[in-house]
Amino acid sequence: MRRERLTIERIEKFKCPPNKEQAYLRDTEAPRLAVRATANKDAKAFVFEAKLNRHTIRCTIGSVKDWTTEDARVEAGRLKRLVDQGIDPRKERAERDAAAERERLETERGAVLFSQAWRAYLEAPHLKWGERHRADHLNLARLGGKKWQRGEGKTNAGPLAPLMPLPLRELNAKRLKAWLQRELAQRPTQTRLAFSALRAFVKWCAGEDAYPGIIDPAIFDDKEVRDMLPKKGSKDDCLDKLQLQPWFEAVRKLDNLTASAYLQALLLTGARREEMAELKWSNVDFKWQRLTIRDKVEGERTIPLTPYVAALLRDLQRRNVRPLRLPPGENWKPSPWVFTSPTAESGRIADPRLPHTRALHGAGIEGLSLHGLRRSFGTLAEWVECPVGVVAQIQGHKPSATAEKHYRKRPLDLLRLWHTRIEDWILNEAGIQFTPTQERAHTLAVVNQSTVVQ
- Three-state secondary structure of 328-372: CCCCCCCCCECCECCCCCCCECCCCHHHHHHHHHHHCCCCCCHHH
- What CA–CA distance (Å, rounded) separates 25 from 6? 8
pLDDT of residue 329: 60
Strand order, beta sheet including 290-295: 284-285, 290-295, 299-304
Which has the closest alpha carbon to 157: 127, 123, 132, 191?
191
pLDDT of residue 440: 39
Domain 241-447 part of CATH 2.60.120.260: no
Angle at the Cα of 452 (from 450 to 454), degrees rounded to 5?
130
Q: Which amino acid is at 236?
A: D
pLDDT of residue 88: 86
pLDDT of residue 160: 93
Domain 2-109 part of CATH 3.30.160.390: yes
User: In angstroms, how far is the first alpha carbon of the chain from the final one?
Assistant: 89
Where do the domains of the chain lie?
A: 2-109, 114-228, 241-447
Mean pLDDT in consecutive groups of 10 residues from the start of the chain, 454 residues: 82 86 88 87 85 87 91 91 87 82 66 87 87 86 77 80 89 90 88 91 87 83 82 74 95 93 95 92 93 83 94 88 58 82 83 90 90 93 92 83 58 92 95 70 36 34
pLDDT of residue 378: 93
Burial profile 144-182: b = 16 or more Cβ within 10 angstroms, e = fewer: eeeeeeeeeeeebebbbbbbbeeebbebeeeebeebbee
Answer for the pair 199, 221: CB distance below 8 angstroms, yes or no: no
Instruction: Give the model confidence (pLDDT) of 230-251 as tens digits.
Output: 776 556 789 999 999 999 999 9
- What CA–CA distance (Å, rounded) separates 252 from 261? 8
Instruction: Give the model confidence (pLDDT) of 332-362 as tens digits.
Output: 677 899 999 877 778 888 888 889 999 999 9
- What CA–CA distance (Å, rounded) separates 8 from 166? 52
pTM beyond 0.75? no
